[in-house]
Structure 1
Amino acid sequence: MRIVVGGYARISDVGELGDGRDGKEGVIRQQEDIHALVKGRGLSLGRMYVDNDLSAFKRRVVRPDYQDLVHDLEAGAVSGIAAYNIDRITRQPRELERIIDIYETARRPMVFATTAGDYDLATEDGRFNARLYVMIANKFSADAARRVARQKKATATSGQAHQGQRAFGWKQDGTVEDWEAALIDKSQLDILNGKLLSEVHAEWAELGVRGPQTPPGKTLSYSSVRYILTNPRLCGYRAYIPVAVREQQGRVDPWEHILERTDGTPVIGEWDKVSSADQVRAVVDVLNARKPKGRGRKKGSTVTVRKLTGTSRCGDCGHGMTSGQYTEGTSSFEQWGYYYHCKKSEGGCGKMSRCGPPIEDLVDSALLARLQQAAKGSKPQKSQDDPALVKARKELAQVEADMAEARQLRESGEFPLGEFVREISRLETKRDELSASVSTMNVMGPQTGVSAAERILREWDGYTIPMQRSVISRFVEAVVIKKQGKGGNHEFRPELIEIVWK
């Protein structure tokens, strides 16, 4: 009775993009050799396993047909392997050891045949020869990978464009893809104006935006949208991420791998730019500042960030107010939906509560009227004279000085560890927020000038709640909500709302 074996064909290199090769010729030739090998040895071929364009050296590469072959060997569906050469099967000693274990524990005749000779894995000499060949193949692959990595880094350092599939925002020849570039620019400015990345992702999904590598029928993922909008390639910076780093960490922040020249300046690539360096860096800073600190919102929390969150303050105790939702089915819920209140559990007095929408409408009207007046009579200020930018820079410098002082006190033993950790955490959060504000104002320009006012007036109705909240925070120091007396008429009284402008 003939022994049933599994034939295995594999090739790694399918050629460069656009050269017409897809690797099929290589695996077809291997299959022809395997058929001849099986026939010449008097074996029976149970199944041909084929992995095209998949490495047998890289640890994180999954080869589906190889996994099937090993499973079938263990299950007894096949009783051996037939391949062109052993390095087609594996270049990893750890994978060979698994195969050896299967052969050693099998209670049936087993075959390991290649066109270069057989390996009797049931004997010490056979196992030694197989291990030796795989170790040599592993060393050869490691040396080749090191040479390729060195060549790729030299290519990157010279500023040459990336090889392979085009990136979102460019055509295959490296010129800008106008529609994608315009979408990137708009989305970046929207984020700098306060829009959430999740909202940008939802818009792209609704538009059906797909990238060059997006699977059919899918749209870009949330993480892909973030990667696209913060890619240093947009502003011409050349990054180089070693393959080993990608394999260990998966998706890596390219800003941590920007190549620099000997004078410390970034390597500029030889391709068309989509965004300015300041704009891309500002988006990175803003998104980093928005990352949740600690463990974030608890599961099941109903906390909602509304338009005046962070701006509204209690007229009695001065504490910041938060929002809450009226009970469904009540008249207050039907009429207003939500309210702002001073929570005692968060350090407030717990004595103030007012319906939300009328207050927000009042603030909107006052802000837009102020912007209309600015658009009519004011002149654009220079970025360096923008009071908000000057103030943010001073605050940032002070926070950085406080951090340096705290570290010095800790080194001298004057700052207990627990208190130091809490203080540094608070200062780092403040520093990230101020850095994002400074970066945004550097890109967007003065927020009190004519052009800014006109733009906000023109686009206000299309702004999302986070974007409107961001604009309000630029111009309003606080919205003080004063207590309304008990009894009598409970209609909304605008005179009890005080807007403190910056």
Structure 2
Amino acid sequence: MLTVGGYARVSDIGQMGDGRDGREGVMRQREDVHALAKVKRCDVHRVYEDNDTSAYRRRVKRRDFEAMMIDLASGVINGILASNIDRLFRQPRDLERCIDIYEQARRPMIFATTAGDFDLTSPEGRFQARIHVTIANKFSADAARRVARQKRAEAVQGMPHKGQRAFGWKDAEHVDDREAELLRIARKDILQGKKVATVHEEWTKLRVRSPQTPPGKTIGYSSVRYVLRNPRLCGYRAYIPQEVRERSGRVDPVEWLVERTDGTPVMGQWEKIFTPDEWRELIDVLDARKNTGKGRKIGSTVIKRLLTGIARCAKCGNGLSSGMYTRGTTSYEKYGYYYYCRRADGGCGSLSRSGPPVEDHVEKILLGNLKKRARQVKPTAEEDPELTKAKADLKQIEADKAEARQLRADDKLSLAEFAREISRLERKERETGEKVSALSAAPVRAGSAAARIIREWGRYTVDVKREEIVKSIEAVVIKPAGKGGAQNGEFRADLVEIVWK
């Protein structure tokens, strides 16, 4: 009596809310396997079962099917029983794998279904099996096209995605308050300079999970990037064809927006988390950090030290790296890490300085500079030549308009000429007025931004602080301490020079 393996599979568990979980179909197939085993007088070692699993999609891994192939090749089982051959194979390459095992086995084997047997060791049997699998593949391809056409039509209508919820929503339409707040905070922080890697670290500490996160895990870095780029956040509908997903895996949803005939994005029928302008602003910042073509992605890693690359050696001008003091030493207990000129990076290798005192000094000087800026008052017109000229231009435009009206009253300008001239002057007046407003408000905005930075500095992460530092500081030059070094380990501010932009 041959020991065989049975196989049962259903492609999906049914639509959301229809009350089916696929078990009914699987149980019928299991009954067919055991009934067939009695007819063939075989002993069923195990029924391998893949519930809610496609045999057509290329990227889908069928766990029990793969286990069955291993047992078949190793001799644990000597054949396969199934209700139908299309339960086993929808892709010809899977059938060919099975045929290879049967051809090389050199032992009695069986391949049977309720619709008939297939002798995979003979040319005729392989031919019949290949015909059946080719037909099954064609049926699956036709069904896939129909489903794709329906999903595309739903996308054009702005209907929400079916199935698993998206991060930020508790269902297809309604926002999840906790996840939405995480996204809003992340957007604000990223615009201020925080890296996606830092956001990922913070979410990991909070034990954040996406709907796709495996049990026992936290959300991955690539998932954080994906959810931040999701057009759904601002209501835009995206549609990524299934064949694209299977060929490329996770793709950028920004590139797959559904548009109307006039080129505008289709808006979806669900609650929004961002406005379109807020989402576009976030995407622009993320795109600006993409790979430049050399080395690793910009912004893809977390820089742990505040002045890495900003601090420079006064002797050779090389950017300083950071390192940790040896554990157990006094320096490690007091400072933890240091900056040094690294020979491997092209530096002289003859300078190092404890990190925290230098960083504290630079932060203190920068915040003092920002406080002065925050107290800055709006200059008078005499102090700003460009503003003075813009205001003078406004007065001249008003005079030109008065002259044009007088010329028209004296019948020296035709109605058409007068209309064109007034239109030109009014357009110029609007543009100049906007310029005056911008120049007048610039110092106020600068002071307001500085006050905000001072107020929020304590909660900034290292990368956000670095973003603000490089806006004002060109470099922090560290000078050698000389033969005597620092007395009693005291920090010497005279050995640190800040080069302002």
Q: Which TM-score applies when normalising by structure 1?
A: 0.75
Q: How far is 1:97 from its partner?
A: 2.2
What does 1:369-384 correspond to in 2, within 5 Å?
A: 369-376=368-375
Q: How far is 1:16 from its partner?
A: 1.2
Q: Secondary structure at the match of 2:44?
A: strand
* One-letter amino acid of the counterpart of residue 119, structure 1: F
Are the equivalent residues in 1 in contact too, given 2:377–2:444 (CA < 8 A)? no
* Number of residue pairs matched by the alignment: 430
- Which residue of structure 1 lines up, in the alignment, with residue 213 of structure 2? 214
Give the direction of change, closer, same or farther, for the CA distance of 1:447–1:141 in structure 2 (3 Å limit).
farther
- Which residue of structure 1 lines up, in the alignment, with residue 134 of structure 2? 135
- Which residue of structure 2 lines up, in the alignment, with residue 271 of structure 1? 270
Q: Secondary structure at the match of 1:467?
A: helix
Give the direction of change, closer, same or farther, for the CA distance of 1:450–1:172 in structure 2 (3 Å limit).
farther
Q: 2-side partners of 1:495 and 1:312: how far apart?
A: 15
Are the equivalent residues in 2 in contact too, given 1:374–1:448 (CA < 8 A)? no
Q: How far is 1:11 from its partner?
A: 0.8
- Which residue of structure 2 lines up, in the alignment, with residue 472 of structure 1? 469
Are the equivalent residues in 2 in contact too, given 1:477–1:501 (CA < 8 A)? yes
Give the direction of change, closer, same or farther, for the CA distance of 1:167–1:180 in structure 2 (3 Å limit).
same
Q: 1-side partners of 2:314 and 2:106: how far apart?
A: 85
* One-letter amino acid of the counterpart of residue 68, structure 1: A
* Range with greater deviation from structure 2 (86-95 or 108-117): 108-117
Residue by residue, what CA displacement relative to the aligned partner does 1:226-247 show, whole Å, maximum 9, x if unpaired? 2222222212222222222211
Give the direction of change, closer, same or farther, for the CA distance of 1:139–1:480 in structure 2 (3 Å limit).
same
* One-letter amino acid of the counterpart of residue 308, structure 1: L
Q: Secondary structure at the match of 1:306?
A: coil
Q: How far is 1:26 from its partner?
A: 0.6
Q: Secondary structure at the match of 1:46?
A: strand
Q: 2-side partners of 1:3 and 1:84: how far apart?
A: 18
1:224 paired to 2:223:
yes
Give the direction of change, closer, same or farther, for the CA distance of 1:115–1:472 in structure 2 (3 Å limit).
same
Q: 2-side partners of 1:305 and 1:5: how far apart?
A: 58
Listed as ranges, the gaps of 5+ residues in structure 1 are 298-302, 380-444
Q: 1-side partners of 2:108 and 2:222: how far apart?
A: 51
Give the direction of change, closer, same or farther, for the CA distance of 1:323–1:334 in structure 2 (3 Å limit).
farther
Q: 1-side partners of 2:111 and 2:444: how far apart?
A: 74
Give the direction of change, closer, same or farther, for the CA distance of 1:356–1:40 in structure 2 (3 Å limit).
closer
- Which residue of structure 1 lines up, in the alignment, with residue 180 of structure 2? 181
- Which residue of structure 1 lines up, in the alignment, with residue 62 of structure 2? 63
Residue by residue, what CA displacement relative to the aligned partner does 1:187-230 show, whole Å, maximum 9, x if unpaired? 22222222232322222122121222323322111221222222
Q: 2-side partners of 1:446 and 1:178: how far apart?
A: 38
What does 1:13-412 correspond to in 2, within 5 Å?
A: 13-290=12-289, 294-296=294-296, 306-313=305-312, 319=317, 321-325=319-323, 328=326, 355-376=354-375
* One-letter amino acid of the counterpart of residue 109, structure 2: M
Q: 1-side partners of 2:443 and 2:245: how far apart?
A: 40
Q: How far is 1:125 from its partner?
A: 2.9
* Range with greater deviation from structure 2 (71-80 or 157-166): 71-80
Give the direction of change, closer, same or farther, for the CA distance of 1:369–1:85 in structure 2 (3 Å limit).
same
Q: 2-side partners of 1:290 and 1:278: how far apart?
A: 19
Are the equivalent residues in 1 in contact too, given 2:72–2:78 (CA < 8 A)? yes
Question: Bigger relative contact order, structure 1 or 2, given CA contacts below 8 A and separation 6+?
Answer: 1
Q: How far is 1:184 from its partner?
A: 0.9
Q: 1:463 aligns with which of 460, 464, 468?
A: 460
* Range with greater deviation from structure 2 (280-289 or 214-223): 280-289
Q: How far is 1:7 from its partner?
A: 1.8
Q: Secondary structure at the match of 2:49?
A: strand
* One-letter amino acid of the counterpart of residue 463, structure 1: Y
Residue by residue, what CA displacement relative to the aligned partner does 1:246-301 show, whole Å, maximum 9, x if unpaired? 1122221212222333333323222222123444444444445445663459xxxx
- Which residue of structure 2 lines up, in the alignment, with residue 428 of structure 1? none
Q: How far is 1:40 from its partner?
A: 3.4
Listed as ranges, the gaps of 5+ residues in structure 2 are 379-441
Give the direction of change, closer, same or farther, for the CA distance of 1:447–1:257 in structure 2 (3 Å limit).
farther
* One-letter amino acid of the counterpart of residue 466, structure 1: D
Q: 2-side partners of 1:109 and 1:449: how far apart?
A: 85
* Range with greater deviation from structure 2 (258-267 or 186-195): 258-267
Q: 2-side partners of 1:25 and 1:153: how far apart?
A: 31
Q: 1-side partners of 2:324 and 2:105: how far apart?
A: 70
Q: 1-side partners of 2:458 and 2:117: how far apart?
A: 75
* One-letter amino acid of the counterpart of residue 128, structure 2: N
Q: Secondary structure at the match of 2:362?
A: helix
